[in-house]
Copies of this chain bind each other. A is one copy, B any other.
């Protein structure tokens, strides 16, 4: 079946976001990353940077205390934890975006949320540590933490969040239709391969 919806899951620093952006541009279809965050923010009442920070992270005390502390409680949480509340809204937003038409969606467990859509292509991007360390310093600059610690922290959070909400293990090949090592194959080449897969799908 023709693939219209492309979900890109990715290790931090692997270039997955850039690949998703390039694929959307080459196919002339919307790229949902910031827009998705904004929509979840709008529907949840949380600030976009809070959604950005916590939408892919494991549920935990820090999120709860944030929600019930400085920023007050958004309406209609129906007794859910902030993380579960965000997850529900995120699921709905992703399902709605996919219904709107062809698009590329980066992260946020979209592979799982859209696993039953036969017109979806689920992609996972990973890369060697050195490549990712170099990339995050180049793109996001230095910080107090070592690049290695930043990678480990971010990936661990995504992993725990994925496991918690999907019951599946993050990065297992069988969850995706195609997985690429962007360090070994090249960010541009991977984007081209995804475009070709989509164009050749029937």
CB < 8 Å: which of B121, B172, B181, B196 contacts A178? B181
Q: Which residues of B contact A196 (CB under 8 A)?
A: 193
Q: Is the CB of A179 within 8 A of B173?
A: yes
CB < 8 Å: which of B121, B171, B177, B178 contacts A174? B171
Q: Which residues of B contact A197 (CB under 8 A)?
A: 185, 189, 193
Q: Is the CB of A180 within 8 A of B178?
A: yes
A contact face: mostly helix, strand, loop, or mixed: mixed
Which residues of A in the span 77-120 have a Cβ within 8 Å of any Cβ on B? none
Q: Which residues of B contact A126 (CB under 8 A)?
A: 173-174
Let me know if A176 is at the binding interface, CB within 8 A.
yes
Let me know if A184 is at the binding interface, CB within 8 A.
yes
Let me know if A200 is at the binding interface, CB within 8 A.
yes
Cα distance A11–B173 when bound, in Å? Answer: 11
Let me know if A162 is at the binding interface, CB within 8 A.
no
Cα distance A177–B184 when bound, in Å? Answer: 7
Q: Which residues of B contact A189 (CB under 8 A)?
A: 197, 200
Spell out A's residues near B (CB within 8 Å).
11, 121, 124, 126, 171-174, 176-181, 184-185, 189, 193, 196-197, 200
